[in-house]
Structure formats: structure tokens, C-alpha cells
Amino acid sequence: MRFILHKWYLIIFTMFISIALNNIYAKDNKSGYLFVLSATHGSLTYKFTSLSYQLTLENVDDWVTYFSVVPKYEGGFISTEKFTNIITHEIATHYPKGINAGLAMFKNGKKTATHYAFSLKNPHYDSKTHTMTYSVAIMSGVKPFTTIYFKKASLFVDDMSNAAGGAGF
């Protein structure tokens, strides 16, 4: 029950942020989308060779939820494979430094959710093992760490359609 309340809190909070940002930055009446991936567990590990972190989401759901609230209300599901293809194209074409995302998760043994904000790059989805990996740059304000293991996670990915120069999905 506690997780469900946290999940709804995050979704409602994200919708309010999305509405506020879309009202401020909306351009040419184009919808901005937020995508939500779910996983049962995973890890965030520092990679010394690339001086970045790797996010690994395991047991990823086959479907990604998406929604938009401005200028029109839309929502639905797309396959995780299609989402990975879209995001790979967008990063390569418009956002070489990565796209904005947030991760809400329960660290092993903890009963409250932990949140991280970062920039995602290099998405890879293995449909046989239902594993998704990304290279990530964690935004400031986080103490360095080597590895964090977590259970039950939701990854929120912004299509950045309303960012300066953003193309959207």
C-alpha cells in the first residue's frame, strides 16, 4: 500500500511539473510526453573506465506508459522495444549529451523511496532478459558512490519536446 501511495504521489507531482513547464515553454502547440518504465530491481554502478554511471533496470515491463497534459490530454502504452528505438534516435539526432530522466526506487532494505535525476544516454534493451541499460550522468548534489542496488523502480523520461531546440518524440 505504501508503494502505491508513493507511486501515485510521484505521478501526480510529475504531472504538475509537466503542466507548469509546458505552460511556460509550450511552443507551436506540440504535445510534450513523459514516459514511465517499471522494473522489479536493478543497480546504479560507477564505471571507472568511462567516468560515468551505468543504470541497469532488470525485469523491465514489456510496455512503457506515456502521457501528455498540454496542449491535449493523451496517454497510452508503447512497447519497450519501440520506446528504446525512439529514444536512441532522439539522443543520436537531437541530444548527444543525453535526455532528462528521474529514477524513483526503493534501495534494498529501505521502506521509503529514493530519487535521482540524471541525463540518459546509450540505451540498450535486451528483450530476452528484459534488461534495460543506460549510461547516466547524475545531476549535482549527490555524494559519489560505487554501486547502489535497488528494488521496485520507476524511470521517468522526458521527451524534451519543449526544451530549447527540442524536437520531441
Q: What is the pLDDT of residue 30?
A: 64
Region 78-106 average pLDDT:
89
Within-domain flag for 151: yes
Within-domain flag for 24: no
Within-domain flag for 43: yes
CATH number at 131 reads 2.40.30
Residue 126: partners with Cβ closer than 8 Å, 6 or more residues away: 132
| Residues 63 and 77 sit within 8 Å (Cβ to Cβ) | yes
DSSP label at 71? S
Within-domain flag for 119: yes
Within-domain flag for 167: no
Number of folded domains in the chain?
A: 1
Greater pLDDT, 76 or 33: 76
Q: Give me the torsion for CA of 77, 8, 114, 74, rounded to 10°.
A: 30
Residue with cell 521502506: 111
Within-domain flag for 128: yes
Please give the residue range of the domain that contains residue 120.
Answer: 37-63+78-158
Q: What is the pLDDT of residue 157?
A: 92
The grid cell for 142 is 549527490
* C-alpha span between 110 and 131 (Å, rounded): 23
List pLDDT tens digits, range 113-156: 888 888 999 999 999 999 999 999 887 677 778 898 998 899 99
Q: What is the pLDDT of residue 8?
A: 53
pTM for the whole thing?
0.75
| Residues 60 and 125 sit within 8 Å (Cβ to Cβ) | yes
Question: Considering only CA atoms, which of 20, 22, 5 is closest in space to residue 159?
Answer: 22
Question: Considering only CA atoms, which of 52, 10, 6 is closest in space to residue 34?
Answer: 10
Within-domain flag for 22: no
Within-domain flag for 18: no
Question: What are φ and ψ of residue 154, in 5° steps?
Answer: -125, 130
List pLDDT tens digits, range 25-43: 444 456 678 899 999 999 9
Q: What is the pLDDT of residue 45?
A: 92
